[in-house]
Amino acid sequence: MNGAPIRFITAREYGLKIADYEWSNNALRIVEQSALMPSLGDSPDLKPYMVNRVEFNKEGQVTVIRDITRNGIIYDSRLIELSLEEMLDRACLCIHDKILSDLKQTPIVNTISCFLFEYSEQGPLPPTIALIQPDEITDYPDDYPLAWLSAPDSELFTEEDLDSIILHGENDSLFTTINAEIYKLERKEADEIIVEFYLNLCRQLKSSLNGSGLLNTTDDFFVTAREFSVCNEAVFLEKLWPQERWMPVSKALDEFKVLQEQQMNAYLAEFEERE
């Protein structure tokens, strides 16, 4: 294409990136390579980095950006036509179905007590996932009763040793668009929407996993979620657990809160005496 760029080079102190632009009718293929910054006079040792495909309509507007490397879609203009509620419904179905599909392809032999979704309020989708095993559920005196409900502390965690469930990829554009729309909302409204989203996802996944044989689960297996910085796990358990299971935990949380207050008051009193 006359006048169109064919190469874009980015150089930094630590390295460089070269993007070659391959134009065709209504599309652009961008092939990126990267390398550490070579010594003066040496050629860079370029390695494949990423391949994207940008598609245009007849008016020259971008319609889709595909991540060829990860087989995903970075941007899809058709999502603009959907309401936030419609996008969330679609995301719930996509995550649910992808988990079941991945579990069918790569069975997990460990016995699981809890399937945990953990998300961030800055980017609630996609979540990280932890499969918590029975021996990881602790109950130490004077500890926060739900301290064990933490994805990074689990052996089977999607950002470490659990690589059989992959949510990034084909639905990235949907997740990115939802995150952008959620970010525009007031914090209270956004929190309510995301909590309701994960409550629905947890209930649907629990129903699908029960009796499916896709996981070896304990008799009291459950699916839940939490926002890792707010630590709102109790909000989910209160709504997802039956009352007889939730009440002892609720009592333990109240007792822990009282204990914390007593310890803080004792600390302040000791501090004032020293002053």
Tell me: the pLDDT tens digits for 226-239?
A: 999 898 999 999 99
Phi-psi label, residue 142: left if phi above 0, alpha if psi -120 to 50, beta otherwise: left
Same domain assignment for residues 53 and 188: no
- 215 lies in the same domain as 189: yes
In this structure, are 129 and 234 located in the same domain? yes
Among residues 44, 69, 94, the one where a domain terminates is 69
Within this chain, do residues 136 and 229 fall inside the same structural domain, yes or no?
A: yes
Q: How many separate domains does the chain show?
A: 2
- Long-range residue pairs from 80-84, CB within 8 A, at least 24 positions apart, any chain: 80/177, 84/178, 84/181, 84/182, 84/193
The last residue of one of the domains, among 38, 69, 100, is 69
Report d(CA 167, CA 148) in Å as an integer. 24
**Is residue 261, in this structure, part of any structural domain at all?**
no
Do 156 and 233 belong to one domain?
A: yes
Q: Is 1's pLDDT higher than 70?
A: no
Residues 43 and 159 in one domain: no
What are the residues whose beta carbons fall under 8 Å from the beta carbon of 166, sequence distance 6 or more?
98, 102, 158
Residue 34 within a domain: yes
| Total residue length of the chain | 275
Q: Range of 207's domain?
A: 83-241
Same domain, yes or no, for 99 and 227? yes
Q: Does the global pTM surpass 0.95? A: no
Q: Please indicate, yes or no, whether residues 19 and 103 belong to a single structural domain of this protein.
A: no
Residue 132 three-state SS: strand
Residue 199 placed within a domain: yes
Question: Which pLDDT tens digit goes with each residue over 178-223?
Answer: 999 999 999 999 999 999 999 999 999 999 999 899 999 999 999 9
Q: What residues contact 130, with CB distance under 8 A and at least 6 apart? A: 114, 116, 118, 150, 151, 152, 154, 156, 157, 158, 162
- Note the pLDDT of residue 39: 82
d(CA 216, CA 210): 10
The answer to whether position 273 is within a domain reads no
- φ/ψ of 246, rounded to 5, equals -75, -35
pLDDT tens digits for range 20-62: 999 988 899 999 999 988 888 888 888 988 899 999 998 888 8
